[in-house]
Structure 1
């Protein structure tokens, strides 16, 4: 195999014998390597085929920010999920899934755990994905010693759900796409900025909107009861709060459905994050 692009010392993009692009991971596999040189295949620990050229930049950014051990763990979990769910998850899933797992490992190591208000719904509507995530959590515990809770299982399960959307009705796909685009425009207009569409924060933001849009269209929204947290966030992030109120107005006018209290909380956090980093 021939080196095409070096991401970091432990990850590179290569061309195999058939000219197909593959991401290769392994300790020191890309150290002092340049495009056109031969890959030291003895150092290859994991291989991952890329289907779309436009993913290269996203992979490069991810590899520059996430530890190699977490990249390999994310790949192993994705491969396990595809076997368990008897499907092929879209390639974007690896990026979103690995980013989430790495961030969760970092959070848990600091004792920072997030409550998942949609855990009950995730278990109810996506039981196969949830059961698969329980195996993923055992893999994470084996590799890191960190035991993650059910709330985290719910978050990861939604990455699997999102990765399996290739077969959904075209009408719903178009509706979700339009809603994501409209909400992005609302955020950009409110903040008078252009979001960096190549950033991981943007990808997290779009992933949340996509999950939300599908739940809204399927009438799967739920409402928690944490007015104190919502009040705290509205005070702490007043600009994000004002922006989310515009999103709420848009949804009321277009779909006749207001944002629930939980969705207000999630949107405030995601909007603030994508617009302040």
Structure 2
């Protein structure tokens, strides 16, 4: 196996003997000058194949300890769930956990509740979410709110490949493209749709659309935070209202205030990180 690019000190992009690209974890494998041949395969602790290359830059931005904890959680899911998981689960989950840690500091007042409906519908995934929250507390010394059990559980539900290509009454890709067009038009920007920031936005948007379609919207007591963001970012608020209206019309659902708040946070994030002007 050849290591071709460093992600961090313990993670590298590699090519196996069949010339297939993968993400490999192993103590110190990111230290040597790249490329180099890994002769001791016993030093490799975990491997992940078929990951979309557009997520590679995202992996470099996620703190090493967060990425490694996320990999352990994904490995547990692979050994627990009786199905194939989307290979992009790892970067998606790592980004979610990293954002949850940031949100805990920045939006301390934001409350999202543990969903007993999700627990009833997806008991195995919920148990993995509980394992993840406990592991994060043990490894990173941060106690995430109980709602993160639900949020992380839904990442596993979304990653189960039999659900991903499920033909739906509506075209998800077309809706996401329309939402992106609306953001570009509203703020006079051009969003780099091949960049990892856009992929991150789409990932969170898919999660939101799934919640809305399955009637599991966020509906908590975040009124104060909503009013603060509305006052601080009036254009983001107005744009979020327009997009919520588009989604609501398409899915024939009334979008909750908390879902609008969630959308505002992610629109703010993609605008802040967008590099294509």
| TM-score class normalised by the smaller sequence | 0.7 to 0.9
Relative to total residues, which structure has the larger helix share, 1 or 2?
1
CA shift at 1:76, angstroms? 1.1
Give the alignment of 1:10-159 within 5 angstroms.
10-35=10-35, 37-41=36-40, 44-51=43-50, 55-59=52-56, 61-105=57-101, 112=108, 114-117=110-113, 119-159=115-155
CA shift at 1:5, angstroms? 3.0
Structure 1, unpaired ranges of 5+: none
Pairwise CA RMSD of aligned residues? 2.9
Question: Comparing 253-262 with 128-137, which one deviates more in the overlay?
Answer: 253-262
**d(CA) in 1 for partners of 2:101, 2:9:** 22
Query: What secondary structure is seen at the aligned counterpart in 2 of 1:12?
Result: strand
Return structure 1 stretches of 4+ with deviation > 6 angstroms.
none
CA shift at 1:241, angstroms? 0.7
Query: What secondary structure is seen at the aligned counterpart in 2 of 1:172?
Result: coil
In the alignment, what sits opposite 1:160?
A: 156
**d(CA) in 2 for partners of 1:17, 1:190:** 49
Query: What secondary structure is seen at the aligned counterpart in 1 of 2:189?
Result: coil
Change over 3 Å in CA distance of 1:166–1:194 after alignment to 2: farther
Equivalent pair of 1:93/1:163 in contact (CA under 8 Å)? yes
Query: What secondary structure is seen at the aligned counterpart in 1 of 2:171?
Result: helix
Query: Relative contact order: is structure 1 or structure 2 higher (C-alpha 8 Å, sep ≥ 6)?
Result: 2
Change over 3 Å in CA distance of 1:248–1:109 after alignment to 2: closer
Structure 2, unpaired ranges of 5+: none
CA shift at 1:139, angstroms? 2.1
Change over 3 Å in CA distance of 1:108–1:226 after alignment to 2: closer
